[in-house]
Amino acid sequence: MGAGLIGIAAATSTWGALHLGPVQPVDGFLAAGAALVLLDALVARVRMPSLLPRWALIGTWAILFITASSVLLPPSPGFVSRRLVVDTSFVTGNGDLTPVWLKGVQWLVAASVLIVVVRLIALRSPHRVQWISSMWMLGACVTAVIAISDFVGASTVSTILMGYENIEGRQSGLSSHPNNLGIACAMAVPIAVFLAASRRMTGLIAVALLVSGAVVSGSRAAQVAIVLVLLASVTMRSLGRRMLPWFAGGAVAFVFVVAFIRPSWIPSLTSLFRFSASNSNASESDAGRAELARQAFADFGESPVHGIGLDYIVTAHSIYLQVFAAGGMLLGVGMLVYLIGALSTGLRLARESSSLAFFLMLSHVAWLGSGAVSNQLTDRYLYFPVACLAGLELVRGLKVDQSS
């Protein structure tokens, strides 16, 4: 039952627009699932070589320390009054009212406790890792479906949940922001390609939904990321190359439908690709990000050791600037070790012919790449591929020990 709840947590992790104050559905399912899995492990006296990989342990300590320092050592009122004020309620969906200690706890559960739980599940049932990753991908497909439905005018779910209509036509589905929808779709598409190898039609439909979700999100980072990881998925593994003709056919079919059956969609779709210098909204966005980057450097200069606190963890619009601005060298270095460690784990497992690990690694790469210009850092959905990689690493290590 605990593993089932973790699967539901994975599926609902991208549905950030559904929340009660600072608590999202994923938080409840994750807490309940983790409690049951840990209790089962204690009753069964499960012995695991290590609860966390070293890179995850370093990241855990960094998050713990910065959470404590954020509570005990807040920035001076004078510095806060001089900062560039950024409204992050549109990112978190919580009106930015989440207590700083709760932000730390939620982040810690996603980045650390989830790894422990998935490793315990993998120890008892290795096949569950693939199931959890599939559930996570399914949840991203659901929010993509809602976004597509809103885009074509069949529903207004996002407007109802968010309380406003995006005047640029960008959609967020069940996510808390269009950027979250886009990044989730970009991260999930490699898992959909992996699924297509065994369940072709299901996987192809999932890929189509996720690509469409990234398009209607209007997120430039997600649109670039999804193209790159999709190309990597279908060219770097024989499993993906077998799907290439199907993906090409789907792309041609989409162009045909838009051009000849629904030409009225063309202006709206074109406006969602915000790469042109003539796009006023994109230019304003770029200028705003430049201001946020300068503020992040000022934040780091104010407190280079422990940063100015988790209240400012999503304000720089670049995860690499955010960790150093909000957490100083301690969080910056700790999270870089964490992120690079997860990437290294994926690369190592992929070289050892683990197909699922390769596609999970691509999911992680999609986050790392888009994170350079996006602020998605503490969202729970980001850490499910990392946890699954850690679970596969444990299973692989036990197999090697048993064969030696």
The SS3 of residue 374 is coil
Per-residue pLDDT, 122: 93
With a cut of 50, say whether residue 404 has pLDDT above it: no
CA distance 68 to 162: 32
Q: 6 with 121: CB under 8 angstroms? A: yes
Distance of CA 221 to the CA centre of its chain: 13
pTM across the whole model = 0.91
**pLDDT of the residue at 89:** 47
DSSP string, 127-178: THHHHHHHHHHHHHHHHHHHHHHHHTTS--HHHHHHSS--TT----TTSSSH
Query: Residue 60 pLDDT more than 90?
Result: yes
DSSP state of 84: P
Average pLDDT, the chain: 87
Q: Which two tokens stand for residue 151?
A: 């885009």
Over 50: is that where the pLDDT of 94 sits? no
Residues 6+ apart with CB under 8 A from 114: 6, 30, 34, 380, 383, 384, 387
Task: Indicate if the pLDDT at residue 21 is higher than 90.
Answer: no
Question: Are the beta carbons of 373 and 318 closer than 8 angstroms?
Answer: yes
Q: Report the 10 Å Cβ neighbour count for 200.
A: 13
Whole-number Å distance between alpha carbons of 146 and 149: 5
Summarised one tens digit per residue, pLDDT across range 170-211 is: 999 999 999 999 999 999 999 999 998 888 889 889 999 999
**Is the pLDDT score of 247 beyond 90?**
no
